[in-house]
Structure formats: C-alpha cells, structure tokens
Amino acid sequence: MGRSERSLGEVREMFAEACKAAAAWLAKTPASADGHGWILLPDGADDAVKEAASWLNGYEAIVQVGIGGSALGNLMLNQAMLGDYFNEHGATPRFYMADNPDPTKALAIWERVRNGSVALVGVSKSGATAETMSQFLWFRKQMSEAGHDVNGDTLVITDPENGVFRAFAKETGCRSLDFPPSVGGRYSVLSSAGLTCACALGIDIDGLLLGARRMRDELFRLGSIESNPAWTASALHCFHEESGRPMSVVMPYSSRLACFAEWYAQLWGESLGKRGKGTTPVRALGAVDQHSQVQLYTEGPDDKLFTIINLKRHGASVTVPECGEKSLEPLSYMRSADIGRMLGLEAMSTAAAIARAGKPVIWMDVERLDAETLGALIFYYEYVTAITGRMMGVNPFDQPGVEQGKRYTYGLMGRAGYEGDAKEAMEWFGRLNSELVTL
C-alpha cells in the first residue's frame, strides 16, 4: 500500500466524525449488551470480592489457573504494584499463576506450595477452557493426595448461571464468584477475575477503580478530537493502518510495566484482528529493547506506529556512585546520575531516533505508577481499543478466530460433539505435514 503522510491536524480532521460516531456508539450501547459490561466495572468491586480476598489472605500461597484474559491482567497488576520479587519478600500469601499448560511449570509451582496451606483459584467464564481446566484438575488432585481440604480450599470465578465451573461449584459447595456475563476475558482485569487475588495480596483495588472511573468520566466528557487524547490515538492507529503500517509497538520505559505490554498485546490483537483488519501488537521494553529491537525500528521497514510510555517518577532513587579506579574514569560523566532519570533520557533518545528516521511516534508521560494511575491507564487502553475497533468496522468484543482454535483442540482431545472439528483439524494439518521439518 502506498505511504500517505499527514500532519496531526490533518489526521484529526480526517477522522473527527468517525471518532465521534464510535464514541457515541460506545456511550449509547447498554452495558448489558454482550462485551460492553467493562464500562461499568470502575463503579466498584462488590462486597463478595473483598470477602473472598480476605479469605484468600489467610493462606500461605495462592495458585490461580487461567489463561489469556484470566491470567494476563493479574500478572500485570502484580508486577506493576508489587514488583517482580514479591514472593521472595517473606510476605504471605505468595502468588503463582498457572497459565501455560507446561508440565515443567506446573510441577515447579506445586513444589513451591505443597508443604503449606494453599488455595486453588480457577478463573474461566465457561469452565471449559482446556488449558485452564486441565491444570485445575491436576492441581486439585495434588492437593487431595497431599491431604488438603480440596473443596474448602477452592474458589472458582465463572459465569453466574451456566457452564462447567458453575455446575462444579454447585456440586462441591466450593466458594465461587460471578464473572460478569457481559464482560469479555481481555476486558475483565477490573472485575472479580482480576481484583480478587490482587486484593488478597494487598493491592489497592479501590485506587485502581477510582483511577479507572476518573479516566472513564473524563473520556466520555471530552467531545472533540482535539481535546480527547483517546480519540486522537484511535485516529492515528486507523490512519497508519490504512497507510501501510500494520504493527503497533508499545514500549514502556519501566520494568514494572513489562506485563502491561503483554496485557495490551492480547487486548489489541484479539479485539481488532478480524476480517483482514487490525494491526499486530508488538511488545517492547525500554531500555532493554534498545539493545535488541531499536536497530530494526530505526532502519528497518517503515511498517510500525510506536508508542513510548515514559514513567516520570520511579519512586525510589538509585544513583551511580563515584569510583576511584583510574580505568573507570571514562565513566565519570555518570557520576551521581539518578538511574531512573537516565531511563527517562533513554526514552527520549529512542523517541528522537525513531522520529529522526521518519517513523511515527506517540509519546505518553505517566507521572507515577500507583494504583490510581494504573487503573486510569488500563481504562484508557480499553477505551482506545474499543473505539479503534468500531472505526475499523470490526466488533472489538468477539474473537471468532480463537473460538475455532478451541473447537479444534476439543475435537483432537476427544470431546464429544466435536468430532467434525477433529477431522477438519487433521485435514488442514495434513496439508502442512509434507512440508514440516522435525528438529
């Protein structure tokens, strides 16, 4: 596709009416409509979530099983609010996420929790996700054989009325919480699915929701593309997709936001990638990926829109000390430098280098990373994603491609009613088989 260049003002003018129409659609559609329930999540967690969190807080360890939106949101909250080494601080409960059904990982988690009190939390809207349920059954068996009160130590977060998990909760009497029926998994981090374990670990969920609520109210109040930053972002993404830049790179300059980029990748990719539309989300982390990706970003194909997220205040200060060794004198320019400030300067340098190469960059300043700010950032990206999907002409709340893969998995594993899917999957795989290389 030929490259089309426009100024920010021209892009805003081109997409002003489309943004306004998409925002009106989002505002007028009832929250009870399929996929739209996330709009109301910032209004507050119910008492059942906090009561379940208080119960979980009494355990030495929590093992949550889930995948996709039932895992990435929790990992993002934990890293951003608690850091990477929370489990090593001696505080309880420790938290482990069993997401990918990798036997090595499952065994490693069990070895770390088997000798103490452990709660098993299963998160699945349907209770039918193979990756989640296979691990749920395995951990449940390990707990039973180790003498745990397997039903008393289990919480499931699932559809309020239907599905395997709901039937399981009724049969066993284990604890359960409702997964909001009109909220999709990738939009669920501010629901019971994301907040329950977060609250148990001491994360300020009221602060998260307050930040999200304030962001929601502000975005719905701002009615022009010049004043609304989310509308501008959506317009830029649509423009660059149409101009032949099919990738969206999000690069936060904070280790605490590495999992945020992972969470964004699912939100963006699963919401927009339909009917030949959408842009591929690319996760990057500053400054790490300055040494692995920025060469490609500056001198590789002009096929990406970049967003640099700069954390202005990192909290604790770490400064470079003076050194007496003569061999280290070339490093004297760093003497007494604050490493957090240096990271911010590296963010500026990367943005400048990409811009100098003629590539488009969105710069986002985040004043600090606390619960309120993170909640606002979460809602902002959910809103931008929904608006962008509407402007691209796709439903930002379904995932038909994912569902087909699930059906193939069910069939190949022998689930009744999916025999035709198993046959079809084998036929398609058979077409590839002659070209496969086994290592």
Q: Which of 270, 304, 359, 382 is catalytic?
A: 270
- Catalytic site residue from 171, 291, 326, 427: 291
CA distance 180 to 163: 13
Q: Could you confirm whether 299 is annotated as catalytic?
A: no
- Kindly state the tokens that stand for 267: 């939100």
Name the DSSP class of 377: H
For 320, the token pair is 């470079």
The 3-state secondary structure of 88-104 reads: HCCCCCEEEEECCCCHH
The CATH H-level (homologous superfamily) assignment of domain 37-203 is Glucose-6-phosphate isomerase like protein; domain 1 (3.40.50.10490)
* Per-residue burial over 34-57, b = 16 or more CB atoms within 10 Å of its CB, e = otherwise: ebbbbbbbbeebeeebbebbeebe
Q: What CA–CA distance (Å, rounded) separates 188 from 156?
A: 15
Residue range 260-318, pLDDT digits in tens: 999 999 999 999 999 999 999 999 999 999 999 999 999 999 999 999 999 999 988 99
Query: pLDDT confidence of 438, banded at 50, 70, 90?
Result: low
324 pLDDT band, cuts 50/70/90, is confident
Per residue in 361-406, pLDDT (tens digit) is 999 999 999 999 999 999 999 999 999 999 999 999 998 877 777 7
Chain segment 411-420, per-residue pLDDT in tens: 887 888 888 8
- The strands making up 175-178's β-sheet, listed across from edge to edge, are 94-98, 61-65, 118-123, 154-158, 175-178
Q: Cβ neighbours of residue 78 under 8 Å, at least 6 residues apart?
A: 86, 95, 198, 201, 203, 259
- Report pTM: 0.93
Is 111 catalytic? The answer is no
Band of pLDDT at residue 2, cut at 50, 70 and 90: very low
pLDDT over 90, % of the chain? 84
Say which CATH architecture domain 8-23+222-392 belongs to. Answer: 3-Layer(aba) Sandwich (3.40)
Q: Please report the pLDDT score of residue 410 as a whole number.
A: 80
Could you tell me if 375 and 209 are in contact, meaning their C-beta atoms sit under 8 angstroms apart? yes
Segments making up each domain of the chain, as ranges: 8-23+222-392, 37-203
Q: Which of 237, 304, 314, 406 is catalytic?
A: 406
Length of the chain: 439
The answer to whether domain 8-23+222-392 and domain 37-203 are alike in fold is: yes
Place of tokens 């709660």: 119
Question: Which amino acid type is present at position 293?
Answer: Q
Q: What residues have CB less than 8 Å from 218, skipping those under 6 apart? A: none
Find, among 31, 366, 62, 405, the residue nearest to 191 by Cα.
Answer: 31
240 is catalytic: no
From the list 230, 289, 214, 228, the residue with the least C-alpha distance to 257 is 289
For β-strands 280-283 and 118-123, DSSP reports them as unpaired
